[in-house]
């Protein structure tokens, strides 16, 4: 198990590399929407043009 200091360093480095991007209401709606399987592919509702 990682120590608290290592976890904190890892979290800080992750944010340095990837940035800190809080979820928007649109993001939350997208990940909360039920997925459906069509022809062997999992699909989600389109969010194109909602940004």
Query: And the tokens for 43?
Result: 């699909």
Beta bridge partners of 41: 38
What dihedral do alpha carbons 18, 21, 22, 27 form, nearest 10°? -100
Tens-level pLDDT at each residue, the chain (51 residues): 668 999 999 999 999 999 998 889 999 888 888 877 777 676 666 766 665
Contacts of 23-32 with C-beta under 8 Å, sequence gap 24+, read: 26/50, 26/51
Q: Is the Cβ–Cβ distance between 44 and 30 less than 8 Å?
A: yes
Tokens of 38: 């069509």
């Amino acid at each position: 198990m990682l120590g608290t200091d290592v976890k904190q360093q890892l979290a800080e480095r992750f944010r340095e590399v990837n940035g800190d991007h809080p979820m928007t209401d649109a993001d939350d709606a997208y990940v909360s929407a039920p997925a459906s399987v069509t022809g062997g592919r999992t699909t989600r509702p389109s969010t194109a043009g909602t940004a």
